[in-house]
Structure 1
Amino acid sequence: MAEMNPIKVVSVALVFALSFLTSIHTGQGKRAGNGIAVGGIPGPALAEQGLPDTGDKTLSPYFFVKSEDSDVDRLPMKSTSAEVEIAGVIANVKVVQTYRNEGKRPIEAIYVFPASTRAAVSAMKMTIGERTVTAVIRKREEARRDYEQAKSQGKSASLLEQQRPNVFQMNVANIMPGDEIKTELTYNELLSPTEGVYEFVYPTVVGPRYSNQPAAGAPASEKWVQNPYLHEKEPPTYSFNITARLNAGLPIREITCPSHETAIRYEGQTRASVDLGANEKFGGNRDFVLKYRLSGESIDSGLLLYRGKDENFFLLTVQPPKRVVEAAIPAREYIFIVDVSGSMHGFPLEISKRLLTDLIGGLKPTDCFNVMLFSGDSTVMAERSVPASADNVRRAVEMIGRRQGGGGTELLPALKKALSLPRKEGVSRSMVIATDGFVTVEEEAFELIRSHIGDANFFPFGIGTSVNRMLIEGMARAGAGEPFVITRPDEAPAGAEKFRRYIQSPLLTNVKADFGAFGVYDVEPAGIPDVLAERPVVIFGKWRGEPSGKITVKGSTGAGEFAKTVDVGGSRPEEGNSVLKYLWARARITALTDRNQLRSDATRVGQITELGLKYGLLTSYTSFVAIDTLVRNQSGSDTVTQPLPLPQGVSDLAVGAPSPGLRMYKSMAAPRSAGRGEVSSRESAGSGRPQASPAREEKEKAPVKSDLRIAVRKVEVRGSLAETDVRSVVDSRAQEFLNCPEWSAGKHKPGIETIVIEWAVDRSGKVGNVRFVSSSKRLSAHLERCLIKIVKNWIFPSGGNKGTVVRVTIEY
């Protein structure tokens, strides 16, 4: 497979720049109030400025550009905070968003933000000065109508809508100059441990979604994709804070926060508090992850009961048996599907490379496998799966290692192509998907996977600091697999090992629940899936009469039959368990939504709507709306969409448009041609991405003028980061040095020379203090500046309490 040469990189960048200049000259690229967009200029940005929308653009995120109009506050979101209370296995979360208008004209603020896929949002209120308005739940279209009417009447109002189970949108109307408006929403979720570890995840930012859907025909529920973003490495324009209070009910063994710096205080054996570190004020660019383990590997399992006025609810958790490894593991086929699109460029793709190296390297010689890389197009290693021999494994690792990331994220064509690959009869097939999930085709992906449930099971790996967990968890649920999320390179080996254990020996199969004399109904899930991970079996439901009798959960293990019996009479209904009604309703809504994605049904839509209204929950078809009674604005307002930070480690390529001032991205490489023995498909014509003409493709295949090669000979690390993590980034990025003009133009004479460069990496992963330690040959000042500039653009994993010093020896 040919290496991407620097001439190609430069030529693609030049073509893109010329196209951009042409679009400005012809009036197709225009500066909008919140961003500048090229080719895929978002309709809302045009509409805000009264500019015409041609109607032939795709839904696209775009880069924020600060308006020169100081009368309008384009950054109304000032802070977001969360207070988390964890009692036993249930988390209660209160989220407060503060909006302030520091401009001179009234505004409407729009903010798109993420949430847990399991969040049951049950309340919202809006505070304006001393007045507080409690929101009410309405059918989605009714809530939107009431909000728009209040906005036009000059009343302050707020509207909370669900765009995806894990993506919400807040609209706040008529924020007057000098106003500070706070919105507060409350949600609950169930925490279920895996291998003895409880994990609470608070998502902080929605990553930019790739879509090839035309903007003109897109429904209103999809318009959120057209959101402005800041550039990579730019911190959020609003502050972030989170506190957590843990009452585990059992002795706590340890608490960790791998994502952020925190202060952890233990308050006795069963209680603790967690506060965000002082230097994490702008840490809202990655998921907040809190993990804790109970002493003695204990698991909080059993039966919780709640007796309501009209309905009673229960929650049953049963810990499965220990894993038994089969003596003889049958041969399997693995299809590794790897996202190499623009949003995966840099740090996320390096995690994928590390993960896939561990996964493929751990295959048995009796297994067979194939590798598919996808962005706007897709490339497979072979037309059919090959044996997991040492040569084939090395070939696959080299194929993955050469990719740098670029292009769109055409997930569906990749899945369809993978499912159509020839297969060996009688061999179990598993699909392993590595992606950040920054797409808008979640429902279509779930439907495709469910329709092939007998052909393969699916194990998605979410890669990055703010992955689309709805997609990752939904693909696993639809494909009878297990989801994984890998946020750092050092988590890749453990993730690969977990995957091997799950595949080789499921914990529990053929799982059934016998409720005996306990009068249950409306049980979720209707059927209990096989248990792959060391995670409790979780069952929600309602009950009638008196709580008595026994519940028995049965299943098959590698060592024989398993049965666990719970005495219902041993548990008492408690008022503090009232949250069970929300958790049950959320579980039922998820099940109905899953079935509706497979085959849309008006009856199910009605059932979801009814559940949202009855239990006061945010759903795709029900929204919260709060309206003040005072008329405060008589002059109209400007609508502004709050720009979001790119998730930590995600590059500008995820947005796919040049930044202001024609500043080109540090890597505008086009998707590379398939290497020898690989099979490639052209990028979809409807992808919304430019396709090269045949003449241009031939030109790009011209040989590189320089035969210069870069080799990393030594990496020395002092500080918090692991040498393997640093080495992974350096190895993958060192070839960028070839983009420096003196080297790319072939001015270097043949021979082996060395340079030693040193730099510092701060706790957020940013590079600084780059300097040359030594060089066997004198370098020009221009070349030194170019090499330093390249290193400063690298991003390393964050973490640790202190910085890291890196010294690298390079041969060229």
Structure 2
Amino acid sequence: MTPCGLLTNSEQPVPLKSISVDVSVHEFVADVSATLDYKNEEKEPVEAFFVFPMDEDSAVYSFQAQVDGKSIVAEIQEKKQAQENYENAISQGQEAFLLEQDSSSGDIFSCSIGNLPPGQKAAVTLSYVQELSLEADGAVRFVLPAVLNPRYLLQESAAADNITSQIPRLPSKELPYTFSVSVNVCSPHGIEKVQSNCPLSPLRYLEDDKTVAQISLAEGHKFDRDVEILVYYREVNTPSVSVELGQADAKPGSLMGDPAVMVSFYPSIPESQEESTGEFIFLMDRSGSMSCPMHSQGGVQSRIDSAKETLVLLLKSLPLGCFFNIYGFGSSFDSFFPESVVYTQQSMEEAVQRVKTLAADLGGTEILEPLKDIYRKSCRPGHPRQLFVFTDGEVCDTWQVIAEVQRNNQNHRCFSFGIGEGASTSLIKGIARAAGGTAEFITGKDRMQPKALRSLKRALQPVVQDVSLTWTLPPGLETTLLSPDPAVIFQGQRLIVYAQLKGTNASKEAAGEVCLQYKIQSDGFRNTVPFSLNLKADDKLTIHRLAAKSMIQTFEGNLEDAAKDKKKVVDISLQSGVVSSHTAYIAINKELNQPIQGPLTQRDIPLGVPYSGCSLFQCVAASEFCSSGFAFHDCEDHGLCEVDSSTEMSSIEACSTESPLLQLISLQKADGSWELDEALASVLDVSVQSALAALPDQNKDVPTWATILAVLWMHNFSQDQREEWELLERKAVAWIRARSDSSLGEYVKAANALLKSSVDPAVFGL
């Protein structure tokens, strides 16, 4: 029995035979060509429809088909026109190819091949360029999405045109097509190593100085995870400017006709000891899919349990004097408090206890209404609002959600977290970009906690103000920004700016410079980068295409003046060849001697079941799919909700025991201190009596002694999780120093002796 139409009949012929991907990574940009090989093994002509995920930042700039040794290059057109041309070609018996981005989300694409004759092969190749993110450890991260989760449909739009809702699914090991990936990496700074969440071939250096290397995905990828490649260069934090010549046959003064500039800054922002006492709102996905495990390799936490642990850490790390609230959302939403409350010992304890009872029990994924509820409530003067959104990102109204965040971006910053394989990059990156925050993805064996704490540290830093760019150029030249004006800067984060270079200057020795200026608490800072104007040509026009993508994202996320912005998006897309939600690529094989005859058989290319090995059925049993409007049909008839998921649940529950570090953190008070009791002594692995006996001065207050012991324990026994307790330690040390005298050094020495540790007293500012 096929539950809910979720699985396709494996006996049905599938015309897609293989997917091969060639990736070229140069510094911080990837150029990707993906070739899909088809063959019609049926007796009638076939129309094949394939839906696949792609990172939201991908700028698709080329689409072509290879049929019978002939190359058919596609043309980019306004989407409605392209769709009409495709349908007309099919109805006339012509072979046609269509590539389009989903209208509801920037990270879903579809490829249609119409009238593929019996016995014929066709190879379809799409190419795109993409900026690569920089991880906290200096790795450049490239992700090739291989998992496409179904997008949750709202009740009122269950019949809407959402191309993920009807995709047939198969267990990943039964997919009838193969998948291969080859990656070339190039950097003048040298390549130290390459890592991946998937098995790779050995890294092969193509140059003695290790500036060029090659790697490939080992055979047998199961489509149960995205392919993530981490590249480590010898040097990553070097500001740079690249200037690219325009397209030779484009009109001077146009987007593609003039040179384009890409500037990469790495601002060094001094760490302030003054933390922002803002308003911190945590919006937590509690839909059914959050009960799935974090990854498919077994014996791991569920997404909701990892999120709960993260929330406890965040709550404990907040500064005194701030305000906070916690929302949960699914098909409905709730909040811990009617309004944000001041952060005290009492409010923190109440919130921590409520966090521990949270479950993935709110049905579907409807994030728009809780966002509106948050924005309806007035901000508190002197307490800048910081919104943290945690979700596995399976929504259908992506553009509306981004637009809602965009409308309120003057009164808050948004930090977003995509949990698990297949989280929507369009949603997660879109809302962070719309409100000047950062986006993080927790995939594979990543831990959510350090990424969340890293974002909290950014949110606690004073707001960077008066950000501006100034250019110094030779006479006759000027720049026009193509990306939005930089408004937000974070320590350790790369800032990329695109500009158009207008005018003429004949000198080959010409040079310029660009200066990034900003203020922090009235202190001014300048980052200046000089560059040569000896322009370089690039046949692929990489910088132009990335700049066009940046412009398209800016206008697509704004629904206030939709008609005007749609016209801008279409114009940019048609000029640059970069696909948007309003354009598509169309190719028609016009060299057929006669129209293709016979009834046209439709074949939807199946995808792997989302999260193979994870409790998909458990998610359904939690009612996200069956009762919340998801467009899988006839759930009750097929009895999908009766599937037993006890195996998955038992493996998750086995991992839910609190770690010693989390136990220690749970005992910390809102002001940063600890009490010396049996619970703390158990974590420290000492008795209360021996801890009290080791106290150098029995007349001193015991909480200071307990807090010193707790800080030393974290340094000695949990150094590898430092990112998770740095803010906790900062609060604790500040509390200790405010209460201590010249005997603090003696106390630290005695505490080290008791715990058999050797932590440097400098931790306490000694």
- Distance between the aligned counterparts of 2:440 and 2:394, measured in 1? 16
- Distance between the aligned counterparts of 1:441 and 1:215, measured in 2? 9
The aligned counterpart of 2:131 is 190
Please list every run of 5 or more consecutive structure 1 residues that lacks an aligned counterpart in the other structure.
1-30, 38-61, 654-663, 672-682, 691-710, 716-724, 733-812
Asked whether the equivalents of residues 238 and 266 of structure 2 are also in contact (C-alpha less than 8 Å), the reply is: no
Deviation at 1:184, TM superposition (A): 0.5
The aligned counterpart of 1:487 is 443
The aligned counterpart of 1:370 is 325
Q: CA separation of 1:165/1:563 partners in 2, compared to 1, >3 Å: closer, same or farther?
A: same
Query: 341, 345, 348: which is aligned to 2:287?
Result: 341
Matches within 5 A, 1:111-122: 111-122=50-61
Query: 154, 169, 173: which is aligned to 1:212?
Result: 154
Q: Deviations over 1:631-668 (max 9, x none)?
A: 46311212222222233368565xxxxxxxxxx75872
- Equivalent position SS for 1:499: helix
1:383 to 2:338 alignment? yes
Q: Deviations over 1:365-398 (max 9, x none)?
A: 4333221111111122222334445564454445
- Distance between the aligned counterparts of 1:127 and 1:689, measured in 2? 35
Q: CA separation of 1:466/1:689 partners in 2, compared to 1, >3 Å: closer, same or farther?
A: closer
Asked whether the equivalents of residues 511 and 553 of structure 1 are also in contact (C-alpha less than 8 Å), the reply is: yes
Deviation at 1:404, TM superposition (A): 3.5
Q: CA separation of 1:307/1:606 partners in 2, compared to 1, >3 Å: closer, same or farther?
A: closer
The aligned counterpart of 1:782 is none
Matches within 5 A, 1:269-418: 269-278=210-219, 281-299=220-238, 301-309=240-248, 310=252, 311-347=257-293, 348-389=303-344, 392-393=347-348, 395-402=350-357, 403-405=359-361, 407-418=363-374
Q: CA separation of 1:636/1:229 partners in 2, compared to 1, >3 Å: closer, same or farther?
A: closer
Q: CA separation of 1:297/1:148 partners in 2, compared to 1, >3 Å: closer, same or farther?
A: closer
Deviation at 1:465, TM superposition (A): 1.5
Query: 504, 509, 516: which is aligned to 1:545?
Result: 504
Asked whether the equivalents of residues 279 and 340 of structure 2 are also in contact (C-alpha less than 8 Å), the reply is: yes
Matched to 2:44, the amino acid is R
Q: CA separation of 1:503/1:152 partners in 2, compared to 1, >3 Å: closer, same or farther?
A: same
The aligned counterpart of 2:549 is 586
Matched to 2:518, the amino acid is G
Deviation at 1:405, TM superposition (A): 4.5
Q: Deviations over 1:726-784 (max 9, x none)?
A: 9536889xxxxxxxxxxxxxxxxxxxxxxxxxxxxxxxxxxxxxxxxxxxxxxxxxxxx
- Equivalent position SS for 2:572: helix
- Equivalent position SS for 2:134: coil
Asked whether the equivalents of residues 402 and 431 of structure 2 are also in contact (C-alpha less than 8 Å), the reply is: yes
The aligned counterpart of 2:473 is 517
Query: 475, 485, 490: which is aligned to 1:527?
Result: 485
- Distance between the aligned counterparts of 1:262 and 1:395, measured in 2? 51
The aligned counterpart of 1:123 is 62
Asked whether the equivalents of residues 324 and 559 of structure 1 are also in contact (C-alpha less than 8 Å), the reply is: no
Q: How many residues align?
A: 612
Q: Deviations over 1:90-135 (max 9, x none)?
A: 2110001122333343321111112122222111111234333221
> Between the two proteins, what is the percent identity of the paired residues?
23
Asked whether the equivalents of residues 506 and 530 of structure 1 are also in contact (C-alpha less than 8 Å), the reply is: no
- Distance between the aligned counterparts of 1:99 and 1:457, measured in 2? 46
- Distance between the aligned counterparts of 2:484 and 2:584, measured in 1? 27
Asked whether the equivalents of residues 259 and 289 of structure 1 are also in contact (C-alpha less than 8 Å), the reply is: yes
Q: CA separation of 1:263/1:429 partners in 2, compared to 1, >3 Å: closer, same or farther?
A: same
Q: CA separation of 1:652/1:506 partners in 2, compared to 1, >3 Å: closer, same or farther?
A: same
Deviation at 1:183, TM superposition (A): 0.7
Deviation at 1:669, TM superposition (A): 4.1
Q: CA separation of 1:395/1:276 partners in 2, compared to 1, >3 Å: closer, same or farther?
A: farther
Q: CA separation of 1:525/1:206 partners in 2, compared to 1, >3 Å: closer, same or farther?
A: same
Point out the more displaced range, 133-142 or 434-443.
133-142
Asked whether the equivalents of residues 193 and 199 of structure 1 are also in contact (C-alpha less than 8 Å), the reply is: yes
The aligned counterpart of 1:615 is 576
Point out the more displaced range, 255-264 or 153-162.
255-264
- Equivalent position SS for 1:470: helix
- Distance between the aligned counterparts of 1:250 and 1:635, measured in 2? 58
- Equivalent position SS for 1:415: helix
Q: CA separation of 1:726/1:273 partners in 2, compared to 1, >3 Å: closer, same or farther?
A: farther
1:442 to 2:403 alignment? no
Asked whether the equivalents of residues 238 and 282 of structure 1 are also in contact (C-alpha less than 8 Å), the reply is: no
Q: CA separation of 1:120/1:65 partners in 2, compared to 1, >3 Å: closer, same or farther?
A: closer
Q: CA separation of 1:212/1:637 partners in 2, compared to 1, >3 Å: closer, same or farther?
A: same
The aligned counterpart of 1:566 is 529
Deviation at 1:423, TM superposition (A): 5.5
1:263 to 2:221 alignment? no
Deviation at 1:475, TM superposition (A): 0.4
Matched to 2:121, the amino acid is E
The aligned counterpart of 1:64 is 7
- Distance between the aligned counterparts of 1:506 and 1:647, measured in 2? 41
- Distance between the aligned counterparts of 2:346 and 2:496, measured in 1? 44
Matched to 2:490, the amino acid is L
Q: CA separation of 1:689/1:143 partners in 2, compared to 1, >3 Å: closer, same or farther?
A: closer
Asked whether the equivalents of residues 333 and 369 of structure 1 are also in contact (C-alpha less than 8 Å), the reply is: yes
- Distance between the aligned counterparts of 2:44 and 2:658, measured in 1? 51
Q: Deviations over 1:210-255 (max 9, x none)?
A: 112656873xxx3313222436776644322211100012122332
RMSD: 3.3
Q: CA separation of 1:405/1:685 partners in 2, compared to 1, >3 Å: closer, same or farther?
A: closer
- Equivalent position SS for 2:80: helix
1:80 to 2:19 alignment? yes
Q: Deviations over 1:128-183 (max 9, x none)?
A: 34333221222212221221122122222210011132211101112233333221
Q: TM-score of the superposition, structure 2-length normalised?
A: 0.73
Asked whether the equivalents of residues 172 and 224 of structure 2 are also in contact (C-alpha less than 8 Å), the reply is: no
- Distance between the aligned counterparts of 1:148 and 1:263, measured in 2? 46
Q: CA separation of 1:299/1:575 partners in 2, compared to 1, >3 Å: closer, same or farther?
A: same
- Equivalent position SS for 2:621: coil
Matched to 1:123, the amino acid is S
- Distance between the aligned counterparts of 2:183 and 2:76, measured in 1? 28
Q: Deviations over 1:66-108 (max 9, x none)?
A: 18xx6x62x3322222100112332110001122333343321
1:600 to 2:600 alignment? no
- Distance between the aligned counterparts of 1:576 and 1:182, measured in 2? 23
- Distance between the aligned counterparts of 2:493 and 2:140, measured in 1? 10
Matched to 1:438, the amino acid is E
Q: CA separation of 1:557/1:385 partners in 2, compared to 1, >3 Å: closer, same or farther?
A: closer
The aligned counterpart of 1:760 is none
The aligned counterpart of 1:645 is 608
Deviation at 1:526, TM superposition (A): 3.7
The aligned counterpart of 1:427 is 383
Q: CA separation of 1:514/1:665 partners in 2, compared to 1, >3 Å: closer, same or farther?
A: closer
Q: CA separation of 1:688/1:246 partners in 2, compared to 1, >3 Å: closer, same or farther?
A: closer
The aligned counterpart of 1:453 is 409
Q: TM-score of the superposition, structure 1-length normalised?
A: 0.69
Q: CA separation of 1:386/1:689 partners in 2, compared to 1, >3 Å: closer, same or farther?
A: farther
The aligned counterpart of 2:761 is none
Asked whether the equivalents of residues 346 and 404 of structure 1 are also in contact (C-alpha less than 8 Å), the reply is: no
